[in-house]
Every structure is written in C-alpha cells, then in structure tokens.
C-alpha cells in the first residue's frame, strides 16, 4: 500500500495515544496529511509525530461537544477519511458504576464517535468525492459476556458497533464506506504495566491493528462496509 494515501487529508481522533501514534505513523509513511485533535496539552507535547510537516495538531478539542467537533472538521478541507480512535475505558462492577460514571463512558466512546461520524459525513458529502470512516468497537461490545465487570464500557462499545452498521447502510450511496475494528487486548506499554503476568505474545500488536485500519480507510477498500472486524490477536 505504499503511497496509497498520497495527498489525502485524514482525521485521526485519539491520534496521540498508543494505537493512534501507530496509525498516524503508518499514514505519514504513505503520504497522508493527518489532522489530529487533542484534549490536553500534555498529549500534544509527548506526541512523537508533532512537528512533522504533514501533521496538523488541533486542541483543545472536546470530541463530546457538538460545536467543538463541527468547528474542528470545518477546518479540514477535502476530507477523505475519518478514523475514530478516541475513547475511554473503565473496569467497574455494576455496584460501583453510578449513573454519572455510566454516562461518562457513553460520552467518551459513543457520543464522540457519533459526533465525529456526523461531521465527517457532512464534509464528505459536501466534497462529493466519497470517503471512508473507521470506528473502534471492542470485543466486549461484540461478545457481551466478556463485558462482565465493565458494563458501561461494553455497552458503549456495543452501541458503537450498531452505529457503524446503521451508518454504513445510510451513506453507501454517497460512496462513503463505514467500518469498525474490534480489538481485544492491545499490546501497549500501559497494558503491559497493568497486567504484568499476562502472556503478551497473545495480544494484538499495534502495527498489525493499524494495518487493518489503514486498509479500511484507503481508496483500495472498494467493497467492505458495515464490517466490525475482530482484531483479537491470539487472545
């Protein structure tokens, strides 16, 4: 896929995170210009791709705020793909999950995804050139029994999967293909630190997941839509 994104404008939310850094790096290698919103200045400061001539960092941008999202996307011209990696995780049993904590997961994972999809569809429709949208669900969203002990997170990610499939059907006639990946445990420094006794070799590697995302977001993807692709590794 060398050069597959040459000259294309791509939004990557959550681009300063572990998976986002891998995705942005792979896109830059293939010629894309990456628009990366962030919420905290510290995220932008430690982002390894800051300063690259084809990286546009924007912040602070609250992706759960409709006005902020619309303003951010309004500054991206000729948008080709929008990749939505931003979100949050909470490991809490239901007794410890009050309404506020539940809605926090909904806002971080579902509302942000919805608002970014909405703004991306508007931008792609206005251009008339079509485009690609890639969301991130999660294994507990596809296999709810894996969501025991993380009810709010699993619910929000199941809703992201439903949003992806419904939107894929809604916008296909505009040549906008919408898909999602559904990771299990990703091999990140944070996960290794939190689960020191786990078998890391079974986890999904960031570069492998990034490669899947890039295919779904690329012009080379001409037929895949409404898919929620498991990226579980061997776990």
DSSP secondary structure letters along 104-153: HHIIIIIIHHHHHHHHHHHHHHHHTS-EEEEEE--HHHHSGGGGTT-HHH
Report the interhelical angle of 112-127 vs 66-74 (nearest 10°).
Answer: 30
55 and 49 Cβ atoms separated by less than 8 Å: yes
Please say if the pLDDT value at position 195 is more than 80: yes
How far apart, in whole angstroms, are the C-alpha atoms of residue 149 and residue 153? 9
Which residues, 6+ apart, have CB-to-CB distance to 45 below 8 Å?
Answer: none
Q: Specify the pLDDT at position 203.
A: 87
Residue bearing the bigger pLDDT, 55 or 188: 55
Output the pTM of the full model. 0.96
> 32 falls in which pLDDT band (50, 70, 90)?
very high
Tell me the mean pLDDT in the region 28-33. 98
Assess whether pLDDT exceeds 90 at residue 213. Answer: yes
pLDDT of 192: 83
**Extended strands (E) in 9-107:** 9-13, 33-37, 55-58, 79-84
pLDDT of 234 over the 90 cut: no
Question: CA Rg, the chain, in Å?
Answer: 17
Buried b (16+ CB within 10 A) or exposed e, 113-141: bbbbbebbbebbeeeeeebbbbbbbbbbb
Rounded distance between C-alpha atoms, residue 137 and residue 155, angstroms: 10
| Tokens 């995302």 belong to residue | 213
In order of their start, the domains of the chain are 9-231 (3.40.50.720)
Is 1's pLDDT higher than 80?
Answer: no
Kindly report the number of other CB atoms within 10 A of residue 2's CB atom: 8
The answer, yes or no, to whether residue 2 has pLDDT greater than 80, is: no
Question: Comparing C-alpha atoms, which of 54, 32, 52, 17 is closest to residue 132?
Answer: 32
d(CA 21, CA 4): 19
């Amino acid at each position: 896929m060398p050069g597959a994104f040459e000259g294309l404008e791509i939004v990557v939310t959550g681009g300063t995170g572990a998976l986002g850094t891998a995705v942005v790096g792979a896109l830059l290698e293939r010629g894309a210009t990456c628009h990366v919103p962030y919420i905290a200045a510290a995220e932008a400061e430690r982002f390894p791709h800051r300063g690259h001539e084809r990286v546009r960092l924007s912040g602070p941008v609250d992706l759960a705020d409709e006005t902020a999202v619309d303003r951010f996307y309004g500054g991206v011209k000729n948008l080709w793909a929008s990749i939505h990696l931003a979100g949050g995780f909470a490991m809490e049993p239901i007794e410890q999950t009050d309404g506020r904590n539940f809605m926090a997961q909904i806002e971080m994972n579902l509302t942000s995804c919805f608002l970014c999809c909405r703004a991306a569809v508007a931008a792609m429709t206005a251009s008339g050139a079509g485009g690609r949208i890639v969301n991130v669900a999660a294994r507990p969203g596809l296999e709810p029994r894996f969501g025991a002990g993380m009810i709010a997170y699993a619910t929000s990610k199941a809703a992201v999967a439903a949003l992806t499939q419904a939107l894929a059907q809604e916008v296909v006639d505009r040549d906008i293909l919408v898909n999602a990946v559904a990771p299990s445990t990703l091999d990140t420094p944070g996960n290794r630190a939190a689960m020191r006794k786990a078998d890391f070799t079974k986890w999904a590697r960031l570069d492998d997941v990034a490669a899947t995302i890039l295919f779904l977001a690329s012009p080379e993807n001409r037929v895949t839509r409404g898919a929620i692709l498991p990226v579980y590794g061997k776990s």
